[in-house]
A and B are shown apart, each in its own frame.
Chain A
Amino acid sequence: MKLGRAATELPAQGWQLLPLRFHRIDADSVVLTSLVGEHVLVTPGELSAVVDGTCADQDLLARLRAAHLIQVPGERLPAELLAIKLRTRMRRLPDSTGLHIFVVTLRCEHTCRYCQVSRQSAAKNEFDMTEQTARRALELAFRSPSPQLKIEFQGGEPLLNFPLVRWITAEANRMNTEHGKDLAFVIATNLALLDEEILGFCAENQVHISTSLDGPQDLHNGNRRRPGRDSWQQAVAGIRRVQERLGADRVSALMTTTEASLGRAAEVIDTYAGLGLRGVFLRPVSPYGFALRGRGGANYDVGRWLEFYAAGLDRIVELNRAGVPMVEMYASIIAKKMLTNSDPGYVDLTSPAGIGIGALVYNYDGDIYASDEGRMLAEMGDRTFRLGSVHDSSYADIMLSDALLNPLTESITLSAPMCATCAFEPYCGADPVFHHATMGDFTGHKALSAFCRRNMGVFTVLLRKMRDDPYFRDLMWRWAQ
């Protein structure tokens, strides 16, 4: 049955506001978001008319009603639907922790200018994880209630301790015959040490490879230094070998933006496309480890990074228009949060924060950290996010520790100044590690926070592009699926 216009037409003052937040994305548009992040763009005048009850634009009122921003007084269904969607967005919380990072060695044969983990010389075996430490870490990992368990090997360069990678994988598979979890393995590697034995192991165990690729050869090799100055050549050769042997979807790459990257976003994207990679994650340098040194590559501000990000996004859209599928991974995470009710659980963009709940890190020496960045801070002498040790902490000790619960409770965005009233709150996250590292407290002063400026900038870029370019809006819908 087709409903006539009269059946849904709302008279002046014929609606009431549902909980909503607003943000002016430019002089022409204000974004209104519901409790769960559904959004509608209006003009400043329309915002006044909707709040004052004088809006006569029935199409706009229908869109606001569909997005649960207004309702007819007395309706019960909108509140019930909002409640269901809110629960859906938070359903990951009882299933913590899905990602378990094993730092199997701090050794590395690269000396990357922005390295965040304070690598050690490749000859110093005392920075390797032992089987005893790994076994205890696995026992803790399998205590997690999450039905999915992803074990990620990191370093240093984890392939420098490949025997332990092999041992942990076999032991995890053995333990999983009892637990029956959806178990996955990832090796985060620069690929310089990749050989046939490792490829065969990855094929046999369905291991995913995550590598670093900063863009064109000169840019990558300038950032990521190793003997022979051939990091890019090694990475590219390794990516091709993995694609051929394991399949195109079994390798992904991450880039880090240094000041040398600025102005070269299109070249970075084209390098990825040329290698047949279908996704790129445009990331700023994180404020940890060697990145904080003068030559660490972090000498740029949020505004310049946002210009780089927008230029990269433009190039990705051009490629897609030309028939080359390419995803910007950060935008795709945000697309899910903006356009669906599912929360991808990306550690940096969740509240409560993803530390501990989303990921646990087992350092080479058995120390346990709430996040990779928490481990990086510890390498700089700040052990705030050390939750315990595999050698003397129980699962309850770790998950109920003050070192985890204090930053989680103090940084929840629904109660943080500015976040609580921010229209972007459903899309954003808490990130207490970043704010502790840069401002000295878990909440941070949001008006002065680079995390806040960067993410508000990204949300604004994405909303403007969706408003101005129907093709980009369709692309975001595809990325959200």
Chain B
Amino acid sequence: MSPAGGAAGAGADGTGAAAAGAAEITLVFDQATVDLDALQRAAYAVAAEMTADIRACGADYACTLFPRTHDTSEEELKHRFRAEVNDQILRARIAKETEPLRNLVFALAFSQTGLVEADAEGPA
């Protein structure tokens, strides 16, 4: 998996399922490779351009996209949503890999402030 390249991979059905209607666009993602969290975060991030309805369908997630305007083509909106999903997957991967270090940094930053001792002694 190489989502950082912005390719259509990451389990997305590159062609998308058939559009359900003139104002609806449906994309299908494989549940084995795409987390629901990534889809939900992507839906949040693109909310200015489109809203999304996400449903579990067997082994897939079906995302129905509803564009807010008709200025952008269906293909462009699909690319936009898939790219956002891929970025969210990459963010989740980085966050998971670096979580112990992140916790270490915050612990180091805020564990040596003297506040604990001050609390024990009462207000200054």
- Which residue numbers of B lie inside 8 Å of A, CB to CB? 2-6, 41, 44-48, 87, 90-91, 93-95, 97-99, 101-102, 104-110, 113
Secondary structure at the B interface, as helix, strand, loop or mixed, is helix
Flag whether A445 is at the interface (Cβ < 8 A).
Answer: yes
Contact A35-B6, Cβ < 8 Å, known A17-B94, A18-B98, A418-B45: no
Interchain CA distance A79-B2 in the complex, whole Å: 27
Contact of A17 among B98, B106, B109 (CB under 8 A): B98
Q: Are B44 and A418 in contact (CB under 8 A)?
A: yes
Residues of A within 8 A of B104 (CB): 79
Q: Are A16 and B97 in contact (CB under 8 A)?
A: yes
Interface centre among A45, A417, A421 (most CB of B within 10 A): A421
Q: Count A-side interface residues using an 8 Å CB cutoff.
A: 30
Residues of A within 8 A of B44 (CB): 417-418, 445, 447
**Interface stretch among A80-88, A158-166, A211-219, A233-241?**
A80-88
- Which residue numbers of A lie inside 8 Å of B, CB to CB? 16-22, 24, 35, 44-45, 47-48, 51-52, 79-80, 82-84, 86-87, 90, 417-418, 421, 445, 447-448, 453
Tell me, rounded to whole Å, the shortest Cβ–Cβ distance linking A420 to chain B. 9
Q: Are A87 and B105 in contact (CB under 8 A)?
A: no
Residue on B with the closest CB to A42?
Answer: B4
Interchain CA distance A447-B104 in the complex, whole Å: 31
Pairs of residues from A and B, 8 with the lowest C-beta to C-beta distance, nearest first: A83-B108, A48-B4, A83-B109, A447-B47, A19-B102, A86-B109, A19-B98, A47-B4
Q: Are B6 and A447 in contact (CB under 8 A)?
A: no
Residues of A within 8 A of B97 (CB): 16-17
Q: Are B105 and A51 in contact (CB under 8 A)?
A: no
Interchain CA distance A3-B91 in the complex, whole Å: 35
Interchain CA distance A481-B107 in the complex, whole Å: 29
Tell me, rounded to whole Å, the shortest Cβ–Cβ distance linking A302 to chain B. 11
Q: Are A35 and B90 in contact (CB under 8 A)?
A: no
Residues of A within 8 A of B99 (CB): 19
Contact of B4 among A51, A421, A453 (CB under 8 A): A51
Tell me, rounded to whole Å, the shortest Cβ–Cβ distance linking B59 to chain A. 27
Tell me, rounded to whole Å, the shortest Cβ–Cβ distance linking A199 to chain B. 43
Residue on B with the closest CB to A414?
Answer: B106
Interchain CA distance A417-B23 in the complex, whole Å: 27
Residues of A within 8 A of B101 (CB): 16, 18-19, 79
